[in-house]
Amino acid sequence: MNSGWTTVIIVTLSVFVILVAVGQIFFAGGENITTETAFFYGVEEEVPFDGVYLRDETLIYDGGTGILSYEQVNGSKVGKSSVVARRYKSDNDAAYLREIGLLQRQIAVLESAERLVGTDNSQLEAISIQINESHSDIISSIIDGDLAAAGDKQSYLLEAMCKREITLKAADGYGTKKKQLNDEINRLNTLISGGVREVIAGGAGYFVSEVDGYEGELGYASAEDITEDKINEVVASPVKTRSSNAIGKLIGDYHWRVAAIIDTEKMFGLYEGSEVTLRVGSGTYLIDADIISAKNCGDNKALYIFECDKLNSAVASGRTARFKLLVNSYGGLRVSRKALRYNENDERGVFIVRGDSLVFKKVNVVYWGEGYVICSQETDDDYLKLYDEIVTEGKDLYDGKVIR
C-alpha cells in the first residue's frame, strides 16, 4: 500500500474518532451530572429583640469585712434560713472550705452506692439508663447555660457510675477511698484560721448574686406603666448603681416578665393573648411565654410584655438579655434551588437518578431559604423521597433519559 493511501486511511480514522468524541459531547453531554442526596432539614424563623426583665426582687445586705464567698449559684431556690454566702478572713480559708464541701459530697455519693453491696445485678439495666440520662442532662444544661443544674446533676452521674461498679462486682465498697477523703478533710480543717461568718438569705426565693440598681424599680407590676423611653434607657445601661452593702438579691417568684420594643411587621399574627416560644441568648433552651400586653408606640413599633414561668440561671442573671422569638419552624427535605425544574405540565420538581436513568419527581416547597428550599415529605410516589439522589447540574435533562 502506497504512502498516499496510508495517509488517507489515517486521516479518515482520525476524523471518525473526532466525530465520535464530538457526538458524545453533544448527544450524551447530560451524562456529566452533579447530584446531592435529599436529607431531612429543619429551620426556624426568629425575631431577635432586646428585652428588659421585670421581677419582684429583694436585696440582701451584709456590711461585714473579709472575703465573701457565695454558697449558692444564680437561680438557686433558697429558704429563709439558707446560707447564701460566707465571709472568711482570707482567700485560703474560702478555698479550703469549698474543697471540704466537695469532699463531703463525694463521701455521701460513695455511701449511697455502697448500699448495693451484696445485691444481684437485676438493677444493672436501670442504673445504665440513669447514667445515660444523667450524662445527657448535664450536656443539655451546659448548652442551655444553666450551670447550676449541670452542677447538681453531676453528683447523680457519679453516684450511678459507682452503683454500676458495685453491681458488676468490680468493687465491694469504698472504705479505702472514704478514709482518704476524710483524712484530706481533717488536714484542710487544720489549715483554716477560723472566724467564718455566714450570710443568711432572710427570706425565700431564687438567689442571684448580681445587683444592678433597678431592684424595686422594675418589678413584676411595672409592666402596667413602663414606657418605651424607660426600656431604651435600661437596654443602653443595664447597670445603674451598685450598693456597697448589697451582696445579692432574692427573686420572689419563678414568674417573671420581659418588656421589649419590637417591629410590629415582624409580629404579624401575634397579639395580646398569643402563646409564643422564646430563646434566651444563643442557647438552645426554649421558654414558653404569653403576650399579656401589646401597646402601639407608632412608627410600626409596639411595646410588648411577655410573661414566663420558668426560671433558671440563664434568665435569673442580668437585667437585660438578647431574646429570639420563634415565629415559624419548618422541617422537610432540603433541596438546592438550582435543582428545581418544571415538567411539561408546569409542575415544580427535580430530576433524580433511578438506576441508569433520570426520573422526574414533584416537590411541594414549604420554605424558601438562601440557595435552598425545604420540601414537605409526601406519601405519594410521584414526589421526592428521603435519600433520593437529586440532580443539581446537567444538560438536556428529561424524564427517562439514560445516563449510564
229 and 265 share one domain = yes
CATH of the domain at 352: 2.40.420.20
Q: In this structure, are 216 and 322 located in the same domain?
A: yes
pLDDT tens-digit series, residues 127-173: 777 778 777 777 777 766 666 667 667 767 777 777 777 777 666 67
Q: Which of 5-9, 237-241, 374-378 is most confident?
A: 374-378
**Residue 73 within a domain:** no
Neighbours of 189 (CB within 10 A): 11
Q: Does 311 lie in the same domain as 289? A: yes
Q: Three cell numbers at 181? A: 477523703
Residue 246 domain-assigned? Answer: yes
Single residue among 130, 159, 194 that ends a domain in this structure: 194
Q: Which of 111-120, 201-210, 235-244, 382-391 has the lowest mean pLDDT?
A: 111-120
In terms of residue numbers, what domain contains 287?
47-59+210-329
Lowest mean pLDDT among 145-149, 203-207, 258-262: 145-149
Asked if residues 150 and 285 have their Cβ atoms less than 8 Å apart, the reply is: no
Q: Which long-range contacts (CB under 8 A, 24 or more apart) does 175-184 make?
A: 177/110, 178/107, 178/110, 178/111, 181/103, 181/106, 181/107, 181/110, 182/107, 184/103
**Residues 6+ positions from 189 with CB-CB distance below 8 Å:** 96, 100
Kindly tell me the number of DSSP H helices and DSSP E strands found in the chain.
7, 20
- What length does the chain have? 404
Count of domains observed in the chain:
4
Residue where a domain terminates, one of 194, 227, 243:
194
Beta bridge partners of 361: 350
Grid coordinates representing 347 are 409542575
Does one domain contain both 324 and 386?
A: no
Rounded Cα–Cα distance for residues 376 and 367 (Å): 9
Q: 383: how many CB neighbours lie within 10 A of its CB? A: 17
Whether residues 130 and 240 fall in one domain: no
In a domain, 20, yes or no: yes
Same domain (yes/no): 365, 323 = no
What's residue 140's pLDDT? 73
